[in-house]
Structure 1
Amino acid sequence: MYCVQEVSPQIFWVGGSDRRLERFENMFPLPNGISYNSYLILDKKTALLDTADSSISSLYLENVEHVLNGRTLDYLVINHMEPDHCANIQDIVFRYPKVKIVGNSKTFQFIEQLFNFDKKNDYYEVKEQDEICLGEHTLKFYFAPMVHWPEVMFTYETKKKILFSADAFGTFGALNGNIFSDEIDFKPVYLSEARRYYTNIVGKYGPQVQNILKKLSDTDINMICSLHGPIWRKNLNYILDKYNKWSNYEPEKQGVILVYASMYGHTENAVSIIANKLSERGVKDMRIYDVSKTHPSYIIADAWKYSNIVFGSPTYNMGLYYGMEFLIREMARLNFQKRKVSLIGNGTWANRAVKIMEELLEGMKNMEIVGTPLEIKSSMKKEQEGEFDKLAESICNSMK
């Protein structure tokens, strides 16, 4: 049975949600599932914008067939070739053999890598700002390479001023009947998952996101239709401002995230003491995470949100505790930058945690070490409390 909604007259959402999938890309937890959005335009010519993941193929193909209602499909526009959006290309081509596949040279390269069918004669290659007229609606194409794959492009529908934005402005989380952001309580339900999606999937490519934001800065946009999550038709500046901050690596607010690794509780205790001292000095809205328990995608998302980070870790086999090392290396790989960082190291017979964390942070851009790093020998002693007070004071001063 089909499940479609009208986005605008003659434009339909034909996607679906997967609430069973445990991990996105087999890496990132999906406690609330995920949506796969696709859009179909009915005009003198018909155009389908992207397909969907194989997990919803049956529903998706029924949706397309229902909206077409016996009409043929003229164009299949591929904004993004990642398999969670392109998995049904082959089924669409077989069902509608006269369809023209719209994309760029990279799009067609990836099609030939992923599929075995031969539709070269039906490729419709577009260049930057080329247009396709469907009748009343015209599609205009803006290339957005590395947001977050090299073939990515955005499609702009000029009549209703709708931007079909590939993965940009998307979020983890299934849709629950309502497909528009103004129909849901977006901030408590989706914002943290939108941030986690951006930081872990797109975050490495901040400069490329800035490029496409600048390219579209003079374009009148009434609606943003992403491939994941709700559609934006009101208060677009809210999500655009978030993307501008996230892609500039600017914190959204002053605050502290405290991240620790701890084998027997001593490093955890040291981090808890710092958090308590920060609270006594008026710091609000802190987050504490155990790297061995919390998936790094959640920690990275909050690191993007807040201005200050405290890393606390023991030495392990003359190196850094592996969970902490993985987290910091992953943050570096994602181009994380522009934060104030404080360090706590622990060691019983060789304290190297602080030194290794400093070396890892040196490879990241615009990272400021706040305060004198604390080094604990096995467990905190009363005579070290003054050092904790000084570090807490330094962190507070850095936030003013």
Structure 2
Amino acid sequence: MVATPIKTEKRLTIQTSEITPDTTVIRSLDWDRDRFDIEFGLQNGTTYNSYIIRGEKIALVDTSHEKFRQLYLDTLLGLIDPKEIDYLVISHTEPDHSGLVKDILSLAPQAIVVGSKVAIQFLEDFVHQPFERQLVKNGDTVDLGNGHVLEFVSAPNLHWPDTILTYDRANGFLFTCDVFGMHYCSDALFDQDLGAIEKDYHFYYECLMAPNARSVLSAMKRMDQLGDITLVANGHGPLLRYNLNELLERYRTWSQAQAKAEKTVAVFYISDYGYSDRLSQAIARGITKTGVAVEMVDLKSAEPQDVQELVNRSAGIVLGMPPLSGSNQKEITTSIGTIIAAANEKQYIGLIESYGGNDEPIDPLLTKFREVGLTKGFTSIRIKETPTEAIYQLCEESGTDLGQTLNQDKKIKQRKSLDSDLDKAIGRISGGLYIITAAKGDINGAMLASWVSQASFEPPGLTIAVAKDRAIESLMHVGDTFVLNVLEEGKYQPLMKHFLKRFPPGADRFEGVKTQLGSNGAPILTDALAYLECEVISRMECSDHWVVYSKITSGRVSNPDGLTAVHHRKVGNYY
């Protein structure tokens, strides 16, 4: 294996390696990228992986992000004569992987573009030049010679509507693009260090794949029909070889848990219109945090029968507003008509503008749903500017609100179950009263907490249990900072009352509360007994909570004689 890093000033580098004599990877390493896709934060950058497969014929699988245009093209030209490329396989048309398709076709006009029907349609919209194409569906093959028979696996909605996976029968390599990837940038080509990558691998799944858990399981069922898979050649992060089976099974386990959810929300969007895909993904992320399943459907490629079936079994519907006119308008209008016809009065509805410049107005469509009897799941999100961090947070919180509403019956039943000796015994575990405050970029958050405990002396550290469906959870990932505000016995009621309120999505949690800015950027409550500034070091998943271990970096007591407020519960099955 030979690796050739090529450095630039902006910390964009290229790494090339021969996985086998017939297969070469070109990895575009984006070391400093800290935001991606639905605007979830990245701790370790990301990569964009592209592959050359050489048989008697040559195939290029995916390209790279346009920010790597010159670096990538120079590297490709150093490895191969573009006139020798017979096939350009497009796993999906998301710009970070297909951003250089037009450049490649200008260098290799003879190349046959291989993709799903939807992918080819999308490419026509932004390549704007004639090109040879071959539409493939599940089970179709392309023979490169020398044993390199490429078999295609249909994997729609992972996480793009046109996704296909590519299996090379010669060596058992499965080219998966976004699927089984992670946003993790390092010089390590493979996944030798499981401990270093597993948190990013899981976080990536939660953000991009969990909203499509049923689609994940369907794709993996198709994968089971292939021969032995010896390598996952993904589109982001290190390739999976050393921990391949373990990491594949984690996807299956996580997806099975999501698919067993009692309730489902259908999220409809238009993949290439405005910010519909990203905003819808943020809402889906918020919904899945509550344990409610999500199925995302692109209205441009949706079949009316599939739309009707999904709406019929969904407890809620979220719709990214479509354009008033444009390509595929007939199909989109038909799908919306199908959604309204299949909706029923027991369901919830949420609408969001796509900021595409030509959005259909929200109010007339909302009226149609209300006339059918649907209940508004969250306040319609009306976007008047390019989405910011705060808007994405608003979308996630709106999704969480919808999920929590759908879970109300379950929670009421849980609270009525007060006769269990076990629940009463657990309720005797007491804790202090604290308010966690956090800020990151344009967004901030706060929550009342009592599940807090000191966890280490050197460095000084503590643990906090944070429910998965709490809005602040997204601000408490590894590397994030926050403040633990300690409430004082006899003086905590005003702060406790304020932060126990149910805040609407996007609301300012600190309105009317005295604060000062901590050195880590998080708000400190002026009326707290003491505060501790903290940095998240690790997280452990515990069913419905995350246990967050954090290092304490500084702190101060405002009243040396004050005592920490203590919280006692009657039962331990809710708070």
* Same fold at TM > 0.5: yes
Residues 149-158 or 211-220, more deviating:
211-220
Aligned-pair distance for 1:15? 2.2
Secondary structure of 1:6's match? strand
Alpha carbons 1:261, 1:314 under 8 Å: kept? no
Query: Do structure 1's residue 90 and structure 2's residue 98 form an aligned pair?
Result: no
Q: Give the corresponding residue for 1:274.
A: 451
Opposite residue 91 of structure 2, the aligned amino acid is N
Check 1:314–1:80 CA distance in 2 against 1; reply closer, same or farther (3 A cut). Answer: farther
Contact residue 313 and residue 320 of structure 1 kept, 8 A: no
Give the whole-Å Cα distance in 2 for the aligned partners of 1:385 and 1:367.
21
2:126 and 2:115 map into 1 onto residues whose CA distance is 15
Superposed, 1:1-400 pairs within 5 Å as 3-25=15-37, 27-69=39-81, 72-119=84-131, 122-136=132-146, 137-176=148-187, 178-182=188-192, 185-187=193-195, 189-219=196-226, 220-249=228-257, 270-271=448-449, 273-276=450-453, 287-288=465-466, 295-296=474-475, 298=477, 319-320=502-503, 322=505, 385-387=567-569, 390-391=570-571, 393-394=572-573
Whole-Å separation in 1 of the counterparts to 2:476 and 2:158: 19
Task: State how far apart, in whole Å, the 2-side matches of 1:212 and 1:175 are.
Answer: 28
Indicate if the aligned counterparts of 2:453 and 2:463 stay in contact, CA closer than 8 A. no
Q: 1:358 aligns to what?
A: none
Q: 1:94 to 1:144 in 2, by over 3 A?
A: same
Partner SS for 2:241: coil
CA 1:175–1:231 in 2, change beyond 3 Å: closer, same or farther? same
Q: CA deviation at 1:52?
A: 0.7
- Distance change (3 Å), C-alpha of 1:56 and 1:224: same
Higher helix share: 1
String of CA shifts for 1:127-173, please: whole Å, max 9, x gaps: 22111111111100010011111110000000101100121110012
Q: Equivalent residue for 2:407?
A: none
Q: Distance in 2 between matches of 1:317 and 1:233?
A: 48
- Cα distance in 1 between the residues matched to 2:504 and 2:437: 8
CA deviation map 1:291-324 (0-9, x unaligned): 787645949xxxxxxxxxxxx9966897525459
- Quickly say closer, same or farther: Cα 1:315–1:111, change in 2 above 3 A: farther
Note the aligned Cα RMSD (angstroms): 3.9
Structure 1 residue 208 displacement after superposition = 0.4
Post-superposition shift, 1:325? 11
The gaps in structure 1 that reach 5 residues or longer are: 252-258, 300-311, 327-365, 369-380
Residues 325, 153 of structure 1: CA spacing in aligned structure 2 closer, same or farther, 3 A cutoff?
farther
Q: Displacement, 1:210?
A: 0.6
Higher relative contact order (CA 8 A, sep 6+): 1
Give the TM-score of the pair, scaled to structure 2: 0.48
Displacement over 6 Å in runs of 4+: 289-294, 381-384
Compared CA separation, residues 3 and 262, structure 1 to 2 (3 A): closer
CA distance, structure 2, for counterparts of residue 92 and residue 65 of structure 1: 10
* TM-score, scaled to structure 1: 0.67
Larger mean Cα displacement after TM superposition, 208-217 or 108-117:
108-117
Note closer, same or farther for the CA distance 1:243–1:296 as it changes in structure 2 (3 Å cut). Answer: farther
Supply the AA of the counterpart residue of 2:110: K
Distance 1:275 1:64, change over 3 A: same
AA of the residue aligned to 2:39: M
What is the aligned length?
309
The structure in which a higher percent of residues are strand is: 2
The percent identity for this pair of structures is 27
The answer (yes or no) to whether the contact 1:49–1:77 under 8 Å persists in 2 is: yes
Answer yes or no: is the 8 Å Cα contact 2:24–2:53 preserved in 1: yes
- What is the alpha-carbon distance in structure 1 between the residues aligned to residue 437 and residue 175 of structure 2? 45
**Which runs of 5 or more residues in structure 2 are unaligned?**
1-5, 7-13, 261-433, 439-445, 457-461, 479-494, 510-542, 546-562
Relative distance call for 1:292 and 1:103 in structure 2 (3 A) is: closer
| AA at the equivalent of 1:191 | E
- For 1:243-292, what per-residue CA distance to the aligned partner results, in whole angstroms no more than 9, with x for missing partners? 112212369xxxxxxx97669xxx85x51x3334999xxxx975459978
> Retained in 2: the 8 A contact 1:51–1:88?
yes
